[in-house]
Amino acid sequence: ELAHLLRRGGYPLTHIATVVEQVRTAGGTESLARALAGWRDRLTRRGLAMLDAAARLGEYLKLRP
């Protein structure tokens, strides 16, 4: 299924073969899914922290003359 999705996305067969081999080496798609979920969580937390910081900076700058 992964190879099919990558092929539909226009990736060349050499790249698909590399990805499939790396997934096998990493322990399968479950391991990849866990890694992606962790990455997504970290990215979300970082993005929310940046939005919070931007809001606080905006409030601070409004207080300045």
State pLDDT tens for residues 6-57: 999 999 999 999 999 988 888 888 888 888 899 999 999 999 999 999 999 9
Q: Are 22 and 2 in contact (CB under 8 A)?
A: no
pTM score of the predicted model: 0.60
Pairwise pLDDT comparison (5 vs 52), residue with the higher score: 52
| Per-residue pLDDT, 27 | 83
| Per-residue pLDDT, 43 | 97
- Nearest Cα neighbor of 21 from 6, 43, 42, 36 is 6
| Per-residue pLDDT, 59 | 97
| Per-residue pLDDT, 31 | 82
Question: What is the spatial distance between Cα 15 and Cα 21, in angstroms, rounded to a whole number?
Answer: 10
Q: What Cα–Cα distance (Å) separates residue 14 from each residue in 10, 30, 53, 56?
A: 12, 23, 43, 48
